[in-house]
């Protein structure tokens, strides 16, 4: 196998090299590099499939895992590495002729790519912390890249909230190290089993969970995400990167760390409730927005809640459904943000009420966007339909099933409103034929096709990448199709009713300051600590 450290260090070194070349050479070189990275990650994934354990752990320079840096390849992490390479390839291709794309921009993106891959492969707490800290700073720079007042404010807001979260994370790993003397994930779990009182783990686990809950934008810690992902002047590739991929690294780390602690402490019920509430309120907030990128950003909050819910069901089928939905969401949300960038540039606005006629004016962009919308809403035979089906199939009772369908109903209603941009008379798009590179339209269309491909061949892809056979009952899937179309009809009706009430405007005006986010973080920490203390109190 190709050593994992090369996947982390080579993109960073390559990005640094790009900084000292001319812009045209840099753009051409980065496309070729991304293709090579896709092939290298595919090679490692193929090699893993032929290993009996499907796992490979590397330790630098022959050091013992107690003090060395180790990287872990398994079927999940290797697929996420390949997903990272693939999405970055499309992002670079999309931005090939962008005016903002200079050597500095390319260096920042390549560096972040290496850091994200490092997060997927890292197998100890401290190196995850270091990778996240550096990535957070670089992402903040990208958000503020065009240096206007709003983007600087959003970038600083993102930086401060996430630095506070990672401070919580650092406190957690410091307490763990003081208690157990190791930081490696596997060794940490082994040492936990030797503790005489598992209640000693409550405080460090609460610190870690609080940090991760903010990183995955769980209610009530999500207000930073729309600011960062939809800041007005940030390039669309930055929004697509953040919403499509970077936040997925936090979800990945979330279920990795929960797997370490679950035999000793678990927060299943709490995250089932918070995941569902996040999915529901995220959809409601998305529905209330007028800015197309804010709609997509709050929709990301909703989908993160649904994934958290699936990961918390403690069912094998739900877990793989949630993991598959992470991959699906990375693809269709990146597609939607890229298409929103094209649309807003042509129409000179992000106001959904002023955008009409996209279907006629930009057929390729419209087709790719529609495919992505069908994916995110769980339309039959699209990728989101299959991942959501496996989550629903794992529901333990009718109430849980109803909760999932209700959250998805909110998503469907939101994108019914969003879909109005395809119809009507084309306006304010005089420059549509010449203002954008046609390759951008093709990129959006091809990425949209993956949402269809991921649905039609979902079972085969799961077998290929995860060596898992997930069942699909024709009768229950047909019932899901019927529920989807019933939700579609109901969504049209509900949307017409609530738009007449004026409630959407009131919801849209809700906003949280940095002080409020910090207060909610402390409240979340206290609530989680109290919950675990009561749950594991001595009998």
Q: Look up residue 184 and give its DSSP letter.
A: B
pLDDT tens for each residue of 283-317 = 999 998 889 999 999 999 999 999 999 998 888 89
SS3 state of residue 82 = helix
The number of folded domains in the chain is 2
Report d(CA 404, CA 395) in Å as an integer: 9
What backbone torsions phi and psi does residue 493 show, to the nearest 5 degrees? -70, -50
What backbone torsions phi and psi does residue 56 show, to the nearest 5 degrees? -140, 125
Which residue is it, tokens 């982390």?
8
pLDDT at 431: 47
219 falls within a domain? no
Q: Is 381 left (phi over 0), alpha (psi -120 to 50) or beta?
A: left
Please, are residues 86 and 113 in contact by the beta-carbon 8 Å criterion? no
* Terminal-to-terminal C-alpha distance of the chain: 51
Residues 337 and 467 in one domain: yes
Peptide bond into 332 cis (omega under 30): no
Distance set, CA 117 to CA 12, 84, 85, 236 (Å) = 11, 7, 9, 21
The candidate with the shortest Cα–Cα distance to 384, out of 473, 480, 460, 523, is: 480
392 falls within a domain? yes
432 falls within a domain? yes
Of the residues 123, 154, 184, which one is the last residue of a structural domain?
123
Structure tokens at 356: 């009409």
Of the residues 68, 97, 123, which one is the last residue of a structural domain?
123
Residues 6+ apart with CB under 8 A from 457: none
pLDDT at 43: 93
E-only strand ranges, 20-175:
55-59, 70-74
463 falls within a domain? yes
Write out the H or E segment, with its range, that includes residue 19: none
What secondary structure does DSSP assign to 458-470, as a single string? HHHHHHHHH----
- CB-facing half-sphere around the CA of 270: CA atoms within 13 A: 20
Structure tokens at 454: 């991921």
Per-residue exposure over 433-464, b if at least 16 CB sit within 10 Å of its own CB, e if not? eeebeeebbebbbebbbbbbebbeebeebbee
pLDDT at 432: 46
Beta-bridged to residue 57, according to DSSP, are 72
Structure tokens at 471: 């069942």
175 falls within a domain? no
pLDDT tens for each residue of 23-36 = 777 788 889 999 99
Report d(CA 132, CA 168) in Å as an integer: 13
Enumerate residue ranges in the chain where pLDDT < 70: 61-62, 426-437
Residues 347 and 483 in one domain: yes
The candidate with the shortest Cα–Cα distance to 259, out of 214, 208, 329, 194, is: 208
Peptide bond into 529 cis (omega under 30): no
Residues 238 and 115 in one domain: no
pLDDT at 435: 46
pLDDT at 26: 79
- Whole domain around residue 384: which residue ranges? 234-526
369 falls within a domain? yes
Q: Look up residue 246 and give its DSSP letter.
A: I
Structure tokens at 258: 């929960």
Residues 6+ apart with CB under 8 A from 153: none
371 falls within a domain? yes
Please, are residues 491 and 416 in contact by the beta-carbon 8 Å criterion? yes
Q: Look up residue 145 and give its DSSP letter.
A: T
Residue 420 burial (CB < 10 Å; 0-12/13-18/19+)?
middle
Q: Look up residue 291 and give its DSSP letter.
A: B
What is the CA 68 to chain-centroid distance, rounded? 29
Of the residues 69, 100, 123, which one is the last residue of a structural domain?
123
371, 375, 379, 385: CA torsion to nearest 10: 150
490 falls within a domain? yes
Report d(CA 440, CA 91) in Å as an integer: 9
User: How many other C-beta atoms lie within 10 A of the C-beta of residue 423?
Assistant: 11
Beta-bridged to residue 122, according to DSSP, are 71
Please, are residues 443 and 34 in contact by the beta-carbon 8 Å criterion? no
């Amino acid at each position: 196998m190709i050593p994992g450290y090369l996947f982390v260090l080579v993109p960073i070194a390559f990005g640094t090299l790009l900084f000292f070349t001319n812009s045209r050479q840099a753009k051409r070189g980065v496309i070729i590099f991304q293709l090579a990275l896709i092939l290298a990650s595919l090679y490692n994934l193929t090699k893993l499939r032929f290993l009996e354990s499907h796992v490979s752990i590397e330790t630098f320079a022959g050091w013992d895992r107690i003090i060395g840096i180790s990287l872990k390849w398994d079927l999940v992490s290797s697929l996420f590495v390949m997903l990272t390479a693939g999405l970055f390839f499309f992002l670079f291709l999309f931005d090939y002729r962008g005016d903002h794309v200079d050597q500095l921009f390319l260096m920042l993106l390549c560096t972040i790519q290496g850091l994200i891959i490092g997060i997927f492969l890292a197998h100890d707490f401290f190196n995850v912390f270091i990778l996240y800290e550096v990535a957070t700073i670089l992402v903040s720079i990208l958000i503020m890249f065009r240096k206007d007042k709003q983007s600087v404010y959003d970038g600083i807001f993102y930086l401060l909230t996430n630095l506070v979260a990672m401070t919580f994370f650092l406190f957690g790993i410091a307490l763990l190290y003081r208690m157990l003397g190791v930081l490696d994930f596997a060794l940490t779990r082994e040492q936990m089993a030797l503790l005489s009182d598992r209640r000693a783990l409550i405080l460090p686990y609460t610190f870690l969970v609080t940090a991760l809950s903010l990183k995955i934008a769980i209610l009530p810690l999500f207000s930073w995400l729309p600011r960062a992902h939809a800041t007005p002047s940030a390039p669309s590739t930055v929004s697509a990167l953040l919403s499509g991929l970077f936040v997925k690294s936090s979800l990945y780390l979330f279920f990795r760390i929960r797997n370490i602690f679950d035999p000793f402490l678990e927060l299943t019920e709490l995250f089932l409730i918070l995941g569902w509430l996040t999915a529901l309120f995220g959809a409601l907030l998305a529905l209330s927005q007028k800015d197309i990128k804010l709609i997509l950003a709050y929709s990301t909050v909703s989908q993160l809640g649904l994934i958290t819910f699936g990961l918390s069901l403690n069912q094998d089928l739900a877990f793989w459904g949630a993991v598959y939905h992470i991959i699906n969401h990375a693809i269709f949300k990146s597609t939607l943000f890229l298409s929103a960038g094209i649309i807003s540039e042509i129409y000179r606005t992000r106001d959904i009420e002023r955008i009409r006629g996209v279907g006629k004016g930009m057929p390729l962009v419209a087709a790719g966007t529609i495919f992505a919308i069908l994916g995110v809403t769980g339309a039959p035979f699209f990728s989101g339909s299959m991942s959501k089906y496996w989550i629903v199939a794992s529901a333990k009772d009718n109430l849980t099933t109803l909760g999932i369908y209700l959250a998805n109903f909110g998503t469907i209603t939101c994108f019914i409103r969003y879909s109005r941009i395809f119809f009507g008379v084309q306006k304010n798009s005089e420059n549509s034929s010449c203002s954008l590179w046609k390759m951008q339209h093709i990129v959006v269309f091809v990425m949209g096709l993956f949402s269809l491909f991921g649905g039609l061949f979902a079972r085969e892809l799961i077998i290929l990448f995860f060596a898992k056979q997930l069942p699909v009952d024709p009768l229950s899937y047909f019932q899901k199709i019927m529920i989807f179309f019933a939700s579609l009809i109901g969504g049209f009706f509900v949307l017409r009713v609530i738009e007449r009430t004026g409630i959407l405007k009131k919801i849209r005006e809700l906003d949280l300051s940095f002080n409020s986010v910090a207060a909610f973080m402390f409240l979340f920490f206290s609530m989680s600590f109290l919950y675990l203390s009561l749950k594991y109190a001595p009998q």
